[in-house]
Amino acid sequence: MPTSTIARTECRRYLRGKGPWIVVLCFIVFSRVTTQPEPAAAQIIDNAISLIHAQPAVAFIVPFAAAIINFRAITQERESGTARILLGTKTTRPRLVLGMVLGRGTALLVPVLASTVLIIGYDTLQYGQFSPLLSLGFLALSTAYVFAWTGLIVGLSAASSSTTRAVILGTIATIGLTLWNGITLPFVWQIATGIAPGSELAHPRAFAKAGWLSPASAFQVLTNWLFNVPIGTDVAVTQVADAITQSGELAPTPPPLSPWWALGFLLTWPALALVSGVMLFQQGDLAPGSQSEPFRRLLNAVPSMPRFSRPRSAWLPERGYVIDSLPGSWQPLARREFHRVARSPLVWVAGGLVFITAFLSLSQPTQVQEALGSRVPLAALQTPLAFIGGTSVLFGTFRSVIHDRDTGAIRFTAGTATSRMETLVGFTLGRAAAFTVPITLAVTLTCLVAIPQYGVVSLAKLAVFLSYTVLFVAIIAGIGVSLSTILQSQSVAGFAVLIFTAVHFTWFQLSNTLYELISGTSVSGFSPPNNPLYVVIRWLAPFQLSNVVTNAIIGVPNSAAPAAAVISELQPNQVSNQVVVRLQYGSDVPVWYLHPSIAFTELLLWALVPLAVAVPVYRHRSID
């Protein structure tokens, strides 16, 4: 089968679905909520004014749309057996990957270009200016951007031996590269140099060059260059506004590199991903999950860890009298899920990452050390537990019911005395227990290695923190299992996990937008309004609620920010977008609904509400 036939088939498949319409809707909505230019900025942007709303929409929507469409591009063919059929013809594995890139890239390009044209047309009528040459150039850059992200995600899918791994790699790449300048680069820079980026930045020119590395940043640089506005990694409106703010007139900072470098960065990412993906795809078997598993072999090589090759009775208990004495018949299913997931490298990697990140966060400023003392390890664990631990649990649970339904294993469960509700309880508790073991080990080990520097953590606080850790893992597992029950497609469930994770990383900006929509007042985290409703909105996301609860356990003022950030915020002459309730309202609990116990209740609702929806859906839906 020639490459063109594969590409044509893939393109038609996706253009016939709902995906293109969803992409168009997301483009139009996002273009309307982006920043409007001030009159002075609009005059400087000039002929490119009709493109200023299309630019951020393309830059932000395309990566997530590409991930949704493509993260199962190759793994789906392997898991369904279609890859064997295709490769039984004259099609080679590189041609299969290339056909996927061309077909799915074209399927994404159609709604992107259609949406861009609609946005440009609307802004042309609004501002009364239009440049055909700039519009054609922007459409050409948008086309390159679409295929760059498509090649990147398809390459990662080719390098993955299962859907779970493809979702993990795709999510990390999409969020990490899309939020490169806001989150990823500062974190990497702090790890590499030991100094967080700030006003006294070491090697500022190198940091500025590194800001161009991601595909999203490169696209912004190229389009700003096309618009003839100050060149940088922000959208044109922000670049012009910043250039005016710095000196009261348009005095842009010279770019650290030639804009042509941005084109190289944009094309390098898909090239590297496709080359690496094709090489791994060619070396592995077509059967899913049969590629080499370095993490599994590494764990088997460590004498202190239980070997995955041993019989499960050698290191996992088959029965537990306490568990079996509980009401219901969910215990066998929970035990099966525990055995299944505990053998996956994902749970041990998650625990290892929580420990490594917390260990690297033990070095805190003097004021934090003095304020927290032996509680510093608990503060260092807050962010790793919420973001790394929580996201890992989602990755380990979002396919639980869907995978059993697709493979037919759910029929065996349905044929037992286990009810539908007990089935979901078994999935949730079994998988939560598997993640609880390495994550609680990471918490304990962090506190142990911090003893020489900070002393022994209060056993009472440690016990409460560990209890909360177990509950938090169970809550996130409940969310993942509920998503897997309500949604019937692995692709849709993977998209839901991707969006759920992205929302948490951008929640500060989204909460400001949400408050503006509710109250009609534009706000910033640097100057929060004197309205407790704003804090409630800032707390809505479960990972933010986790910080509120753990702050109460650690014993720091009420806030959704990590404890170390709260202590820093209490120091004089400190300004950030973190909101500490005491500083803003004069009390830790100015109204009853800002009490940490209410945050704990809201966190429980994040598991109970989806489960309440999932149970009736699962009862009335066919198991096929």
Per-residue pLDDT tens digits for 444-490 = 999 999 998 889 999 999 999 999 999 999 999 999 999 888 887 77
Q: Is residue 198 scored above 50 in pLDDT?
A: yes
* CA–CA distance, 210 with 220 (Å, rounded to integer): 14
Q: Which pLDDT does position 350 carry in this prediction?
A: 86
Average pLDDT over residues 373-392: 90
Which tens digit of pLDDT belongs to each residue from 144-165? 999 999 999 999 988 887 777 8
Q: Which pLDDT does position 585 carry in this prediction?
A: 84
CA atoms within 13 A on the CB side of 236: 32
Q: Which pLDDT does position 14 carry in this prediction?
A: 83
* CA–CA distance, 359 with 377 (Å, rounded to integer): 8
Q: Which pLDDT does position 234 carry in this prediction?
A: 83
| Helix residue ranges per DSSP H, 308-450 | 321-324, 331-342, 345-360, 366-372, 376-383, 390-397, 400-407, 409-414, 420-449
Residues facing residue 559 across a β-bridge: 580
Terminal-to-terminal C-alpha distance of the chain: 32
Q: Is residue 41 scored above 80 in pLDDT?
A: no
Distance of CA 572 to the CA centre of its chain: 34
- Taking each helix axis from N to C terminus, what angle separates 400-407 and 490-505, rounded to the nearest 10 degrees? 170
Q: How confident is the model at residue 317 (pLDDT cuts 50, 70, 90)?
A: very low
The SS3 call for residue 248 is: coil
Which tens digit of pLDDT belongs to each residue from 76-129? 777 777 777 777 777 788 888 898 899 999 999 999 999 999 998 988 888 888
* CA–CA distance, 509 with 492 (Å, rounded to integer): 25
* CA–CA distance, 242 with 225 (Å, rounded to integer): 16
* CA–CA distance, 467 with 85 (Å, rounded to integer): 50
Q: Among 156-165, 252-261, 520-529, 607-616, which stretch is predicted with the lowest mean pLDDT?
A: 520-529
Average pLDDT over residues 168-197: 78
Q: Which has more confidence, 312 or 183?
A: 183
Average pLDDT over residues 374-386: 91
Q: Which pLDDT does position 435 carry in this prediction?
A: 93
Q: Among 304-313, 326-335, 523-532, which stretch is predicted with the lowest mean pLDDT?
A: 304-313
Residue whose C-alpha is closest to residue 220's, from 250, 179, 189, 275: 179
Q: Among 56-65, 199-208, 409-418, which stretch is predicted with the lowest mean pLDDT?
A: 409-418
Structure letter (DSSP) for residue 594: G
Average pLDDT over residues 276-285: 83
Burial class (CB in 10 A: 0-12, 13-18, 19+), 505: buried
Q: Residue 332 contacts by C-beta under 8 Å, 6 or more apart in sequence?
A: 416, 418, 426
* CA–CA distance, 194 with 192 (Å, rounded to integer): 6
What percent of the chain shows pLDDT beyond 90?
24
Residue whose C-alpha is closest to residue 148's, from 278, 263, 240: 263
* CA–CA distance, 393 with 433 (Å, rounded to integer): 10
Average pLDDT over residues 381-408: 84
Q: Which pLDDT does position 545 carry in this prediction?
A: 92
Q: Which pLDDT does position 546 carry in this prediction?
A: 93
Q: Which pLDDT does position 235 carry in this prediction?
A: 81
Sign of the alpha-carbon dihedral angle for 295, 301, 305, 309: positive
Residue whose C-alpha is closest to residue 551's, from 579, 592, 530: 579
Residue whose C-alpha is closest to residue 437's, from 388, 473, 399, 481: 473
Q: How confident is the model at residue 295 (pLDDT cuts 50, 70, 90)?
A: very low
* CA–CA distance, 128 with 230 (Å, rounded to integer): 23
Residue whose C-alpha is closest to residue 492's, from 158, 81, 78, 163: 163
Q: How confident is the model at residue 166 (pLDDT cuts 50, 70, 90)?
A: confident
Q: Which pLDDT does position 447 carry in this prediction?
A: 93
* CA–CA distance, 220 with 233 (Å, rounded to integer): 5
Q: How confident is the model at residue 48 (pLDDT cuts 50, 70, 90)?
A: confident
Sign of the alpha-carbon dihedral angle for 149, 150, 151, 153: positive
Q: How confident is the model at residue 237 (pLDDT cuts 50, 70, 90)?
A: confident
Residues facing residue 580 across a β-bridge: 559
Residue whose C-alpha is closest to residue 150's, from 214, 75, 67, 265: 67
Which tens digit of pLDDT belongs to each residue from 129-147? 888 899 999 999 999 999 9
Rounded to whole angstroms, what are the CA distances from 397 to 149, 377, 393, 465, 620? 26, 28, 6, 23, 22
Q: Is residue 414 scored above 70 in pLDDT?
A: no
* CA–CA distance, 321 with 610 (Å, rounded to integer): 30
* CA–CA distance, 258 with 235 (Å, rounded to integer): 18
- At position 282, the amino acid (one-letter code) is Q
Q: From the CB of residue 470, how many other CB atoms can be counted at a distance below 10 Å?
A: 16
Distance of CA 337 to the CA centre of its chain: 25
- Taking phi over 0 as left and psi of -120 to 50 as alpha, with beta for the rest, 91 belongs to beta
- Tokens at residue 393, please? 């649990």
pTM greater than 0.75 (yes/no) = no
Tokens 């059929």 belong to residue: 85
Q: Is residue 219 scored above 80 in pLDDT?
A: yes
Q: Which pLDDT does position 195 carry in this prediction?
A: 63
Structure letter (DSSP) for residue 527: B
Q: Among 164-173, 337-346, 520-529, which stretch is predicted with the lowest mean pLDDT?
A: 520-529
Tokens 């469960």 belong to residue: 413
The SS3 call for residue 61 is: helix
Q: Is residue 554 scored above 70 in pLDDT?
A: yes
Average pLDDT over residues 586-612: 91
Q: How confident is the model at residue 418 (pLDDT cuts 50, 70, 90)?
A: low
